[in-house]
Each structure stands twice: as C-alpha cells, then as structure tokens.
Amino acid sequence: MSFSIALAGKGGTGKTTLAGMLVKYLVMKGKSPVLAVDADCNANLNEVLGVKVTETLGNARENMKKGDVPSGMTKDVFMSMKLEEAVVEADNFDLIVMGQPEGPGCYCAANALLAGFLEKLTNNYPYIVMDNEAGMEHISRLTTKNVDILLIVSDPSKRGLQAALRIEDLAKCLKIGVGKSYLVINQAKENSSSIMKEMISEGGLELAGIIPEDETIYEFDLNGRPTIEIPEDNKAVKAAFDIFDKIIN
C-alpha cells in the first residue's frame, strides 16, 4: 500500500518547491521509487524537479471525450496507453501531470477509466507526493482517495494562515480520508510574530515546523534552475528535511 503525502495551501507559499524537496528527501532516504503527482492546473512541479513533460492526463481525457480514439482500439486500451505515455521517468522518481480541469460536457466515462488506471499505477510506488492547487477538491478528483499526510503550507502572513486553517476545515468535511494534517510555515523571517503563534494555537492545526526565507531558492527559481538541485546543507533544505524526519516514519 502506497504512503501518500499531499501538499496544499494558498498560492505563492512555496508548496511546489516544498513538494520537490520532499521528493528529494524520500529518494535520499532510499524510499524510492517515488511517484510525484502534479494536480495543480498551473502545473510547474516538473520545473522544480528538472524534467520535461509532453503529455498529461487532461489531454488523454480530452481526446477520449472528443472521440479521438484510433480505429480498432478500445477506450480501455487507449486510456491505458495514454496513462503510460504521461508518466515521466527520472532517477528514482516518476512524475505524472494531471493537466487542465475538465471543460464543458460529461467526462464521467473518461474520469472513471482514468481513476481505475491511476489507482493501479500508484500501487507500484511505496510513496506518492501530490502537489495540489488551492482547495481540496482535486485530491479526490482522480488521485488517491486516502491521504496519509496532508501538509498545509503557509507563508508567515495572516491571510496565508487563514487560508491554511480553512483548507484544514474543508479537508475534514470532504470524504478523502486524511490520516494526519500538519502546518508548515514557509519563507519565514527570523522572528515569528506573536499574532502568527496565536492563530496557530487557536486554529488547532499542528505545526510541523518552520522553513526560513532563503535567497538561494529565489535565485534558482529566477534563473530557471531545478530547486531539487539545491545542496542539502542549504538552511531551507535542512529545515524541510528536519520536518520530514519528524512526520515520516
């Protein structure tokens, strides 16, 4: 059974960068192969991981809905082939990109087929890392329904923390089976404000740790360099790894 870790949070909190750090951590700890799932419609986890994407599950879903299935090929075989094409293989981890949300019309048949094939695929990996957009609906859309750990990422702002607490509340309402939720404060200044500490305490969401603001991450991102390549002795990477040591057995 795969161990699944999903990341969510307000835009701009650095959750995709943290997802890349998590993939790096799992590979370094010998917990591979890891399946990275980019469930954000603004997909860019591949840039963090330094791999190229040419196919997405969204494209496969669109092709099936439009009837673009080759003559003589069943829909089941077509979707299975497209799923295999969408898997990007790298050293000790693979990546699959969900792609854009559905357009108008019924996608029930395509979604049902994809959900079945994706479930079979995920069973081949001991660990799954899912990078999600704001909100929680997409976790139950096509990816694994049961999430062992939900990492809610926030920056050290009131709005970021408010969004994190709302996501936690929404996660409890949706039938996605979250095992344990944690809060991670990212891009933090040296001193945490008393307001931030009070909000976390009152919200009841367990704080897994704080990752400091780091210029190296900004420089890597600005220059288009995969942030997964940032050295392990970087202060932000070390803080992230300390968090992962705490929450992952």
Pairing of strands 88-89, 93-97: antiparallel
Q: Which two tokens stand for residue 159?
A: 């709005």
Please state the pTM of the whole predicted model. 0.89
Residue 241 phi, psi (nearest 5): -65, -35
Q: At the top level of CATH, which class does the domain 3-247 belong to?
A: alpha beta
Task: Catalogue the E-assigned strands of 158-247.
Answer: 180-188, 207-212
Residue ranges covered by each domain of the chain: 3-247
Q: Model confidence at 142, in pLDDT bands (50, 70, 90)? A: very low
C-alpha span between 219 and 205 (Å, rounded) = 31
pLDDT (tens digit per residue) in 200-219? 878 888 999 999 999 999 99
Average pLDDT, the chain: 85
C-beta of residue 53 within 8 angstroms of C-beta of residue 87: no
3-state DSSP call for residue 149? Answer: strand
